[in-house]
Amino acid sequence: MRAVVTVVGKDKTGIIAKVSTFLAERDVNILDISQTIMQDYFAMIMMVDLANASEKLADLAEDCRKMGEKIGMSIHIQHEDIFNAMHSV
């Protein structure tokens, strides 16, 4: 199963390292990643594979939210199909 992870917040050193380490520790494989900095804001979107993940998506989503709070970012994960449905016209 694939999912989309979004990370948004004020730019600071180490965001990509912290988020990718967090995901790797849960056996989530990053398939694709795009990030940009707009003025002082950092925005990243990742396509991830949850086939070998050590947690269910709902638990992972809660852990992502908590991780985001810890590092001062907004981090969300959602199933690829839900993400696509929400962003189609």
CATH class label, 2-86: alpha beta
pLDDT of residue 47: 96
| Alpha carbons 5 and 17: distance in angstroms, whole number | 14
Compute the C-alpha angle 67/83/23, nearest 5°: 30
pLDDT of residue 84: 63
| Alpha carbons 83 and 49: distance in angstroms, whole number | 14
| Alpha carbons 28 and 69: distance in angstroms, whole number | 20
Instruction: Give 10-residue mean pLDDT values along the chain (89 residues).
Output: 96 95 97 95 96 95 96 92 66
